[in-house]
Amino acid sequence: SQQGEEDPQALSIQEGENATMNCSYKTSINNLQWYRQNSGRGLVHLILIRSNEREKHSGRLRVTLDTSKKSSSLLITASRAADTASYFCATEAQGAQKLVFGQGTRLTINP
Amino acid sequence: DGGITQSPKYLFRKEGQNVTLSCEQNLNHDAMYWYRQDPGQGLRLIYYSQIVNDFQKGDIAEGYSVSREKKESFPLTVTSAQKNPTAFYLCASSLDPGSWFYEQYFGPGTRLTVT
């Protein structure tokens, strides 16, 4: 079952620009998480936002959560070439003890 | 140096053969997970285990089997019944699936090719 859907599927920007990715989901959640995956590697946890939080920051990352719209966004400011990766949102639905991942946004930062 | 290890990184098998993928963690995490990732796709949950000697099917368990005899280890067997086993397999663990801090830590993955 696919809970989260990321938009856009692919994003290409110039180094230094900001990158915004969106995630929509279907059911009520306990929390929403964002992960990064470099090509051919495992996923790395970036940030977790709880259902009672609206915004969270971590370094150059800013995540927002709108539970009324069942959507979240991930903003990466001042992008760097090293930010090139796929980004996934994952949701923990209420009552479920597992995460469900979206299909990801493939981000390319051009030097 | 704590983390999750998966071996091997690349695995090749002939169709009809069972194959076991290794996953070990030294993070003292209770919960462990197996995911499958196909090209350009997200992760799909195969099996998960919240405690030793117990595990549950995920969304795509058919053709796979697991065991959890030790807290540190959660091997995945891809059986000959799995119709399309070629994929990238990721193992993950988390501290406590019932807590707020539910981030998962991932291993580097095993790329399985079956011909």
Rg over CA atoms, chain A: 13
Residue A50 to residue B100, Cβ atoms within 8 A: yes
User: Has residue B102 got a pLDDT over 80?
Assistant: no
Q: Are A58 and A67 contacting, i.e. CB atoms less than 8 angstroms apart?
A: no
Residues of B in contact with A33 (CB under 8 A): 102-103
**What confidence score (pLDDT) does residue A97 get?**
72
pLDDT band at B2 (very low <50, low <70, confident <90, very high): low
pLDDT band at B11 (very low <50, low <70, confident <90, very high): very high
Chain centroid, CA A35 distance in Å: 6
Strands A10-14 and A105-110: parallel
**What confidence score (pLDDT) does residue A1 get?**
47
A residues 16-45 lying closer than 8 A (beta carbon) to B? 30-31, 33, 35, 40-45
Residue B109 to residue A33, Cβ atoms within 8 A: no
**What confidence score (pLDDT) does residue A79 get?**
97
Q: Are A32 and A6 contacting, i.e. CB atoms less than 8 angstroms apart?
A: no
Q: Are A102 and A89 contacting, i.e. CB atoms less than 8 angstroms apart?
A: yes
With a CB cutoff of 8 Å and minimum separation 6, the contacts of B22 are: B5, B6, B7, B8, B73, B75
**What confidence score (pLDDT) does residue B97 get?**
64
Give a three-class secondary structure readout of chain B: CCCEEEECCEEEECCCCCEEEEEEECCCCCEEEEEEECCCCCEEEEEEEEECCEEEECCCCCCEEECCCECCECCEEECCCCCCCCEEEEEEEECCCCCCCCCCEECCCEEEEEC
**What confidence score (pLDDT) does residue A5 get?**
85
Residue A101 to residue B111, Cβ atoms within 8 A: no
Of A99, A103, A104, the CB nearest to B104: A99
% of chain B residues with pLDDT over 70: 94
A46 three-class SS: strand
Q: Determine how many CB atoms are found less than 10 A away from the CB of residue B62.
A: 10
Tokens of A104: 């990801």
**What confidence score (pLDDT) does residue B41 get?**
84
Rounded mean pLDDT of B87-115?
Answer: 87
**What confidence score (pLDDT) does residue A99 get?**
85
B40 close contact with A: CB closer than 8 A: yes
Interface test with A, best of B21, B57, B104, B110 (most A CBs within 10 A): B104
> Nearest CA of chain B to the CA of A109: how many Å?
18
**What confidence score (pLDDT) does residue B101 get?**
57
% of chain B residues with pLDDT over 90: 83
With a CB cutoff of 8 Å and minimum separation 6, the contacts of A105 are: A6, A7, A8, A9, A10, A11, A21, A86, A87, A88
With a CB cutoff of 8 Å and minimum separation 6, the contacts of B104 are: A43, A45, A99, B33, B92, B93, B94
Residues of A in contact with B90 (CB under 8 A): 42-43
Q: Determine how many CB atoms are found less than 10 A away from the CB of residue A48.
A: 19
pLDDT tens string B68-98: 999 999 999 999 999 999 999 999 999 876 6
A88 close contact with B: CB closer than 8 A: yes
B111 close contact with A: CB closer than 8 A: yes
Chain position carrying tokens 């397999």:
B89
A50 close contact with B: CB closer than 8 A: yes
pLDDT tens string A27-83: 888 889 999 999 989 999 999 999 999 999 999 999 999 999 999 999 999 999 999
Residue A48 to residue B101, Cβ atoms within 8 A: yes
